[in-house]
Structure 1
């Protein structure tokens, strides 16, 4: 057995966090003894402890933040307290060889330092950078680099410095690690997120989901202020001025959910859009199997331009073409499976959606391109190889 790995994640519960679950099960399949510390879910993953498919999961109670940065400080402080408490208990039971930190926040390096002290320096650290937190702050709260932005840059740098290996979701993130993080190139790996194709399977379409219209449009994903759902709603209002042969469904939730529902109401879209809230796998399959295109409205901001959006990968897994704003990593992911509007231009976005609705042949071709990409070059099998290569550098059996 290579060793014992402890994965820490604060953003989502496990196994609901699909990236973390893929990583955990990949390591398990290659001989690692894997445990996970994460928050409890609300509708799922609610048990305090569980063993799922051989992975032991420890969950703690956590109140999600609301409001401004102060709410996140409270949430992250509670998460750090519970993570330290549970990590010490796991290590006392059997020493942890590798602690795997998934951000946000960039505070979990404190847990890693505790384990390093307890192990006499033998515990190694893998930093799994899911988000660029300083850019997230600029995109969500402040357009300017204030004192809190620089504090976030400091905690990010301390996390880079604590890590023995950094794994990034794309090449843009990896370049940040090597550049501002001063991580050696041979210690920086790209492990792209990839949809589990066994989850994204076509099922018989259900035309009634389109509420009597010819076309169903779908948004799938988180609804935060930085995710551009308001751009999608405004683009649909423009689309509604041109044609009425469509209905749109928004699958997901987040702290911008109420705001975008209110926006849709104010724009007169109550009978044109459905907001389902958080959707489980069967509903995701139903809606995406019925839809004719996916909405990827992430606007140009410091975070989204450099980030790989899960929704894009998931649309492609279902063979759905999409319309996106023209973002650096969006093009890397989607390629010819998307049409690209000028960043943040809702008029052009609506025009491209309309063009695609009128061209079923092109939609089919784009969907086939996307499915081939996630089944081939962007598949988890490629990411899996990179993950295992990263772990090979900290494998206690090879030291």
Structure 2
């Protein structure tokens, strides 16, 4: 009789997983049990660490801030993270990126007809055979013991690959993707082939097939439960920052020259930056030396600059373009107010951006629009104030109120305390580790 494989021996290309369906999942359960035994030990042997296969299909890595944070969280719990991602011309096929190992894939490189055929197959079925095979290889050749699929477009490929490889599948929805498609500026062919209606149909199917679902806020969980997902299979892992960002003494809030307002992130119509620019004449009327820094790139940047020029406020706004994270955070440190001005929609009512917790960690008061999760968190923590989305006069009033030294200092301190006590990556990390512990215990 053949002996049972050592459950703590990490599969490699020379030691692949056994083929077959979920009957092979005992290896995942036993190896997670081994991970539990040594979790918290000062040095854990790589042979004892379970590999989670994250899939960032058709996107390069780095950068993806959420994937990096999840890899950090899993590393703290004794898990390794592989990230299957798109290969760029200058990328190595595999290398370490922080706490993750990037495994890069190209769809039929140098074979134009096959690449086009794969694209057509995806458009027809929402399943890419090339990416699906790469996901199976992530299990059988690279030793992944679960597939963790980021965002909706490749959910079908991920679910089919997990079934073929005999491993659990986790879907990680960063946002309400069908609603986002209705907002994003897209090519006509993309809008036709992957419409919001088609995406919603895929989502409704996928949430019934996944072993677990990860979302960013409670409101997103409530939405999926309303669509028929099992609430016991959904966990919330937020877009929080590490406690390291909140350590040290925050920079003083210097309002002597008027407010120094900052926005960090993508520039698109749904981000609400048009409301901020529309508010600048009113802000400058009250504070002639006020300044606004918009840090980021996006397709509506020319329209924003044109709007600022028409309103005569271009000189008071700095458009920095994309900055490295360290530089962007340094700009936040010297600001007196951080903005999250999103227009309200089904999309923005079910997500929270990383920037909110970055502002809070650095002790900056925040001003957010009344999108449900933004308003809930800011009101609960006292980290700032809330304005009515799309209403420039209300934004002006709230900026004036948060330009009072006492109010600004109180809000900035409250936000930082909230990050230190609750809203941080270290507090969120057990959510992901517990998810995989539960899968190993057979709670599919």
Per the shorter chain, which TM-score range? 0.7 to 0.9
Tell me: CA distance 1:15–1:373, structure 2 relative to 1, closer, same or farther (3 Å). farther
Tell me: CA distance 1:204–1:349, structure 2 relative to 1, closer, same or farther (3 Å). closer
Residue equivalent to 2:275? 231
Q: Of residues 390, 394, 397 in structure 1, which corresponds to 2:439? A: 394
Are 1:320 and 2:364 matched, yes or no?
yes
Cα displacement (A) at 1:60 = 5.1
Are 1:381 and 2:421 matched, yes or no?
no
Residue equivalent to 1:5? 52
Are 1:116 and 2:163 matched, yes or no?
yes
Equivalent residue runs for 1:128-147 within 5 Å: 128-140=172-184
Q: Determine which structure has more spread, i.e. the larger CA radius of gyration.
A: 2
Equivalent residue runs for 1:206-285 within 5 Å: 213-285=257-329
Cα displacement (A) at 1:315 = 0.9
Cα displacement (A) at 1:99 = 0.4
Cα displacement (A) at 1:7 = 0.3
* Rounded Cα–Cα distance in structure 2 between residues aligned with 1:290 and 1:29: 31
Q: Of residues 276, 287, 300 in structure 1, which corresponds to 2:344? A: 300
Question: What residue ranges of structure 1 are gaps of 5+ in the alignment?
Answer: 63-72
Q: Which moved more, 1:295-304 or 1:77-86?
A: 77-86
* Rounded Cα–Cα distance in structure 2 between residues aligned with 1:115 and 1:383: 26
Equivalent residue runs for 1:1-399 within 5 Å: 1-2=31-32, 3-10=50-57, 13-39=60-86, 47-53=92-98, 55-59=100-104, 83-103=131-151, 105-117=152-164, 119=165, 122-140=166-184, 148-180=195-227, 182-199=228-245, 213-335=257-379, 336-357=382-403, 359-395=404-440
For residues 263-294 of structure 1, give each alpha carbon's deviation from its aligned partner in whole angstroms, at most 9, with x where no partner exists. 22332222111111112132123211111111
Cα displacement (A) at 1:23 = 1.2
Cα displacement (A) at 1:242 = 3.6
Q: Which moved more, 1:222-231 or 1:362-371?
A: 222-231
Cα displacement (A) at 1:314 = 1.3
SS at match of 2:172: strand
SS at match of 2:54: strand
* Rounded Cα–Cα distance in structure 2 between residues aligned with 1:368 and 1:41: 43
* Rounded Cα–Cα distance in structure 1 between residues aligned with 2:87 and 2:302: 23
Aligned residues: 375
Q: CA contact under 8 A between 2:367 and 2:387: conserved in structure 1? A: yes
Question: What residue ranges of structure 2 are gaps of 5+ in the alignment?
Answer: 1-30, 33-49, 108-118, 187-191
TM-score (norm 1): 0.83
Q: Which moved more, 1:370-379 or 1:7-16?
A: 7-16
- Report the aligned-residue RMSD: 3.3
Q: CA contact under 8 A between 1:337 and 1:370: conserved in structure 2? A: yes
